Amino acid sequence: MTLLAVQNLEKKFGGLIAVNDISFEVERGEIFTIIGPNGAGKSTLFKLITAFTRPTAGRVIFDGEDITRLPAHLVARKGVVRTFQETTIFKEMTVVENVIVAHHLRSQLFLGVLFQQ
């Protein structure tokens, strides 16, 4: 069963075409990679999939639902998120504090289990 479908996705910034007619499907449980040189549009593609940026054309379907026009926070709540290459954003925080930040969109049950005595 297809978990993620990207259909004819495109992003233009003025005259620059950052993502040009990209289509692919990722099956549930499948490991799928996006590779390419710097400037190829990989980061822009992930921004489009996670709703950080709106596409010029195309659709993103997650678990059978069109999420193309949803705001980023609702896309994240469905489980479609990205990580950033910056690894020291919260370097002043403890490991537990970083885990709490990472799971803020998940159920409160997680925090209850984490802090049980």
Number of domains in the chain: 2
Answer yes or no: do 50 and 105 share one domain. no
Are 69 and 115 part of one and the same domain? no
Same domain flag for 71 and 15: yes
Mean residue pLDDT of the chain comes to: 87
Residue 100 belongs to what domain range? 83-117
Here the CATH number for the domain that contains residue 59 is: 3.40.50.300
In a 3-state reduction of DSSP, which class is residue 73? helix
Taking only the tens place, the pLDDT of each residue in 59-97 is: 999 999 999 999 999 999 998 988 776 666 677 888 788
Q: Please give the model's pTM, rounded to 2 decimal places.
A: 0.73
The residues, any chain, with a CB within 8 Å of residue 6's CB and separated by 6 or more, are 22, 23, 24, 25, 45, 49, 58, 59, 60, 61
